[in-house]
Amino acid sequence: MKINQKDLASGILLVLVAVVGAYLNMDHNLGSARRMGPGYMPLLVFGIQGGIGVLVLLIGLFNGPDPMEKWSGVDSKSLVAAVFGGLIAWQLSLRLGGDFFTSGYNAMGFGMMIGFFIMCWAQGWRLMGFVCASLCVFALLLEKGGLVLATVGTVVVASLADTQHVKKPLGVAGLTIFLVALCWWIFIKQLDIRVAVWPQF
């Protein structure tokens, strides 16, 4: 058996996130394929992610050896700082109160976003940190900020992951406009999902 450590670790992480996400999604109504409830799409996505994770895990058992790269001191420190920074931000946001942080998982999402931004301090975590932070930005902005602002925030934060995108703001702007139009057409126009399009502050 030739183990690929990177694929093995990636598969375990994908399955773990899928299981935790599916567990947190249990509070939401699933509905049906025709009239989707708030828990339908997340459960579908977590199911697909879990399946991909199992596939990556099985492939990792036979396509090695590919040892894990050694972590630099900055990589290790930024990961530890991200975990503690995210936990502190989560607990502080709960204590600040207010409707936004006390409803749903907003406080946890805020803590995760802060943790992912802290991860970006290390070059080795930059790509994953900004992409994951962009997903948190979308989740935090969607309800009050609307679909347009959430999509714009997601694309802008995700574009920071690659320095080439920062040097090409017109490409990022074009992608943002395209994705806003596509999301509006699919989710609002075709699926008739009841979500705010514009900010509701």
User: pLDDT (tens digit, 9 = 90+) per residue, 79-96?
Assistant: 899 999 999 998 998 888
Question: What residues have CB less than 8 Å from 113, skipping those under 6 apart?
Answer: 89, 133, 136, 137, 140
Structure tokens belonging to residue 80: 């530890």
Residues 68, 71: Cα–Cα separation, whole Å:
9
The pLDDT value recorded for residue 32 is 78
DSSP 68: P
Tokens of 134: 């962009």
Mean pLDDT of the chain: 86
pLDDT band at 8 (very low <50, low <70, confident <90, very high): confident
- Would you say residue 115 has pLDDT above 90? yes
Residue 201 confidence (pLDDT) = 64
Burial of residue 178, with CB atoms counted within 10 A of its CB: 0-12 exposed, 13-18 middle, 19 or more buried: exposed
Rounded (5°) CA angle 184-47-147: 20
pLDDT band at 176 (very low <50, low <70, confident <90, very high): very high
Q: Which pLDDT value is given to residue 155?
A: 94
Query: Which pLDDT belongs to residue 68?
Result: 64
Q: Does residue 52 or residue 189 have the better pLDDT?
A: 52
Is the pLDDT at 150 greater than 90? The verdict is yes
Distance of CA 17 to the CA centre of its chain: 10
